Structure formats: C-alpha cells, structure tokens
C-alpha cells in the first residue's frame, strides 16, 4: 500500500482551511449563512469537491469519498458551533448593555376571573345546598324521550312548538330545557329527595335582547310524600332574596306546561329599567323568570314513582335572565358573545 500523499489531499486541505477561516471570521448570523452557502450550497466549494469523486481512478475513490465526506462534516460542525457562539454573544451583549435593567417589573399578564353566569350559578348552588338540595349534572345531548316524552309531551303535542329543537343526525337532540333531567333524577335518587341541575340549553330560535339560542337554566326538583305550592313559593322567595339581596317584586300567573299541574309563571319586576319598560322586559316592566308547578303524575310514573305515594314540585329558572337582572345587563347576547371587554366589567366583588 502506498504511503504517498494523494494529489487531491492538497485541495481538501486548502478548502478546509479557507472554509474554517471564513467561519471563524463571521461576526453575525447573516454572514455565517453566506459562508455556509459558499461552502455547502449546491455550487459551494465543499460540494464541488464531493462531486469530483467520479473523475478519480477507481482505486482512489474510496479514500477520496471518506476525505471529502469528512470535510463536509467538519465544516457543518464548525458552522453549528459558530452559530451558537454568535447567538450567545448577542445575549451577552444585551445583558452587558447598561440600559437593560433586569430588576424592572415585567408586563403583568391579564388575570382571569369567574364569568358572571358561573358566579350566579355557584351562589345559587350554595343557597340550595344549604337547604338540603343535591347538585346534579346531566348531559346536554339528550334523548327525545327524556327531553319530551317522559315529560308528558308526546310527538303530536302542540307544546313541542314552544321549544324549537336542534336535532342531531343520530336522532338525539340538544336539550331544550333542564327539565330533561327530571326523570333521570327520579331514577338516580331514592325518594324523598331534593335536587337542582343547572346547565346550558339550546333552542332553534331567533335572538333578541332577551332571547338567545344557547342559554342557561337551573332546574329544581323536590319529591316527597306531601309537597305543596306553599313550599314551592317559599323556596322561590328564599332564592330570589339571596340573589338580589333586596326586595324584588314578584308576581305569579297561571302557566301551562304539560309536565306540571297546576303550573305557574313567576315574573320579577324588571331590574334593568326598574319598571317603566325597556327592550329587555318588552316594555311591560316584568320579566318572565321562573316557571314552576307540581309534578304531573305521568312524569312521576315515567320516573318509576307511584303518584299515589309520591308528589313533587319543580321549577325551571332562566339563569341567563337572572344574571341580566342581577347585573343590569341590557342584552342577553352579551353573556356568551365572547367579547372579553364585557366580561372584564365583572370583578370578584360585583
Ligand atoms: C321551560 O323551559 C320549562 N322546562 C320550565 C319548567 C320547569 C316549568 C319545571 C315547570 C316546571 P320556558 O320555556 O318558559 O320553560 O323557559 C324557562 C325560562 O328560561 C324562562 O322563564 C326564561 O327565563 C328562560 N328562557 C326561555 N327561553 C329563553 C331564551 N330564548 N333565551 C333566554 N332565556 C330563555
């Protein structure tokens, strides 16, 4: 085996020396990039050497391939090391700059807080828990049975028009009211029981200042051997005074819902305009807030309870409307509209 230095070694050495010198001389990332292209680019000096393999005698190709490949690797490593060094030098220079004061306070990130809807919901949960109610959570995607049929609203019943429905291809629906949980609760809990189930409901209807397609309700259900409208009203009064922390005028009207008998509508005086009328109360001075009534025997049966033994009352509070009344919000669409400026107006003490 010959120990003579091959003729091409001088070219390899010269290209290595030139490239490494240019890399060491580069003072910024842009210059280093130019050096990189000049050496390793398609027409670069190192690339040109690599391409020369084919021109050599077969016996030399192996050694030459190893040498030119080694050169390429060496140049790549030198560029990576130089790039790190330049970056570090930039950081060091910034830190050394006396105008940079690392003791100055940074920009404070915006703090989040609880949405007014969640706030009122949590308060209500506390009030009801203190009165012995369980807090339950039921699905927003419901069966037609739980949302309608179990509640004494068969397919042909005109009451289905009261709640235009978002249907899913599966035949399920987005619950139109939290009452969909009533029969679920009867199956889940041993009577006697009292429970609330708050949550989002959906209706396929056009929106205005007091109507949303997605809004919150809070259902209340009490099952016992003897319940009365008097007890129902008493609980409603406790609830409203806890929420408003002042006297609020209420009025009770007969109301029709197929799942209660008798049924009522509880209205409260409009807390946005204080009485004279506005777009929220449709210029009546009253806002429909809380339908309620005694649970219909057919619903008790659907829940597996014997109506001769058990009775119940239920209410379906319009939680979104309650939040509007509590904070004087003049348009329900602001609540879930996603405008952070609106939500930022409510802080922990509100
Ligand atoms: C119901 O949803 C019945 N499930 C309530 C019920 C429960 C009655 C238990 C009897 C016993 P209604 O469709 O009226 O009823 O809605 C109840 C409350 O939700 C209304 O009083 C109102 O405060 C609120 N509400 C109704 N529709 C909308 C809407 N589109 N946007 C905002 N709030 C609404």
Q: Residue 38: pLDDT above 90?
A: yes
**Contact criterion met (CB below 8 Å) for 315 and 124:** no
Q: Tell me, using a 6 A CB cutoff, whether residue 203 lines ligand 1.
A: yes
> Which is more confidently placed, 160 or 127?
127
Residue 3, pLDDT score: 65
Q: Tell me, using a 6 A CB cutoff, whether residue 215 lines ligand 1.
A: yes
Q: What is the residue-wise DSSP string for 45-113?
A: HHHHHHHGGGGS-HHHHHHHHHHHHHHHHHHHHHHHHHHHHHHHHHHHHHHH-TT--TTS--PPPPPP-
Residue 349, pLDDT score: 47
> Which is more confidently placed, 231 or 225?
225
Q: Tell me, using a 6 A CB cutoff, whether residue 216 lines ligand 1.
A: no
Nearest CA to ligand 1 atom 30: 211
Q: Tell me, using a 6 A CB cutoff, whether residue 287 lines ligand 1.
A: no
**Closest to 157 measured CA to CA, from 165, 265, 166, 318:** 165
- Would you list the domain boundaries of the chain? 9-96, 116-343
Q: Residue 53: pLDDT above 90?
A: no
pLDDT in tens, 109-120: 877 788 999 999
Q: Residue 75: pLDDT above 70?
A: yes
Q: Which of 184, 321, 323 to mutate to test the pocket of ligand 1 (most atoms within 8 A of CB)?
A: 321
Q: Residue 350: pLDDT above 60?
A: no
Name the average pLDDT for the chain.
Answer: 90
Residue 339, pLDDT score: 85
Q: Tell me, using a 6 A CB cutoff, whether residue 260 lines ligand 1.
A: yes
Partners of 173 in the beta sheet? 142, 167
pLDDT band at 316 (very low <50, low <70, confident <90, very high): very high
pLDDT band at 314 (very low <50, low <70, confident <90, very high): very high
Peptide bond into 160 cis (omega under 30): no
Phi, psi torsion values for 256, nearest 5 degrees: -110, 120
Q: Tell me, using a 6 A CB cutoff, whether residue 182 lines ligand 1.
A: no
Q: Tell me, using a 6 A CB cutoff, whether residue 318 lines ligand 1.
A: yes
d(CA 151, CA 268): 26
Average pLDDT over residues 152-160: 82
- 149 DSSP 8-state letter: G
Q: Residue 200 C-alpha to ligand 1 middle, in angstroms?
A: 12
pLDDT in tens, 187-219: 999 999 999 999 999 999 899 999 999 999 999
Phi, psi torsion values for 56, nearest 5 degrees: -90, 165
Q: Tell me, using a 6 A CB cutoff, whether residue 45 lines ligand 1.
A: no
Start-to-end CA span in the chain (Å): 92
Q: Residue 62 C-alpha to ligand 1 middle, in angstroms?
A: 85
Q: Residue 103: pLDDT above 90?
A: no
**DSSP element (H, E) containing 184:** helix 182-188
* Angle separating helix axes 9-25 and 29-40, nearest 10 degrees: 170
Q: Tell me, using a 6 A CB cutoff, whether residue 177 lines ligand 1.
A: yes
Q: Tell me, using a 6 A CB cutoff, whether residue 199 lines ligand 1.
A: no
* CATH 3.30.930.10 for the 116-343 domain, yes or no: yes
**Contact criterion met (CB below 8 Å) for 316 and 290:** yes
d(CA 67, CA 54): 14
Residue 347, pLDDT score: 63
Nearest CA to ligand 1 atom 5: 316
């Amino acid at each position: 085996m010959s120990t003579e230095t091959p003729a091409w070694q001088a070219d390899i050495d010269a290209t290595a020396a030139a490239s490494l010198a240019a890399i060491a001389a580069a003072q910024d990332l842009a210059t280093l990039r130019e050096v990189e292209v000049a050496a390793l680019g398609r027409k670069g000096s190192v690339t040109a050497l690599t391409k020369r393999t084919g021109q050599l005698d077969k016996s030399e190709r192996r050694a030459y391939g190893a040498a030119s490949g080694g050169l390429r690797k060496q140049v790549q490593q030198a560029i990576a090391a130089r790039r790190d060094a330049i970056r570090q030098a930039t950081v060091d220079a910034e830190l050394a700059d006396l105008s940079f004061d690392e003791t100055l306070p940074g920009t404070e990130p915006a703090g989040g807080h609880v949405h007014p809807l969640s706030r009122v919901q949590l308060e209500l949960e506390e009030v009801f828990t203190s009165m012995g109610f369980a807090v339950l959570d039921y699905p927003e995607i419901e069966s037609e049975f739980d949302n309608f049929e179990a509640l004494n609203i068969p397919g042909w019943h005109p009451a289905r028009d009261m709640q235009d429905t978002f249907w899913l291809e599966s035949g399920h629906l987005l619950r139109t009211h939290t009452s969909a949980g009533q029969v679920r609760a009867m199956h889940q809990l041993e009577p006697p029981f009292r429970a609330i189930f708050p949550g989002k409901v959906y209706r396929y209807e056009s929106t205005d200042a007091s109507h949303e397609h997605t809004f919150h309700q809070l259902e209340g259900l009490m099952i016992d051997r003897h319940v009365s409208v008097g007890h129902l009203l008493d609980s409603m009064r406790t609830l409203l005074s806890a929420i408003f922390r002042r006297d609020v005028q209420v009025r009770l009207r007969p109301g029709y819902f197929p799942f209660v008998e008798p049924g009522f509508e509880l209205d409260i005086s409009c807390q946005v305009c204080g009485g004279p009328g506005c777009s929220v109360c449709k210029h009546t001075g009253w806002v429909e807030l809380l339908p309620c009534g005694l649970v219909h025997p057919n619903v008790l049966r659907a829940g597996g309870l014997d109506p001769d033994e058990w009775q119940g009352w239920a209410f379906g509070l319009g939680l979104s409307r309650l939040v509007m009344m509590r904070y004087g919000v003049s348009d329900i669409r602001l609540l879930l509209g996603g405008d952070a400026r609106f939500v930022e107006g409510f802080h922990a003490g509100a």
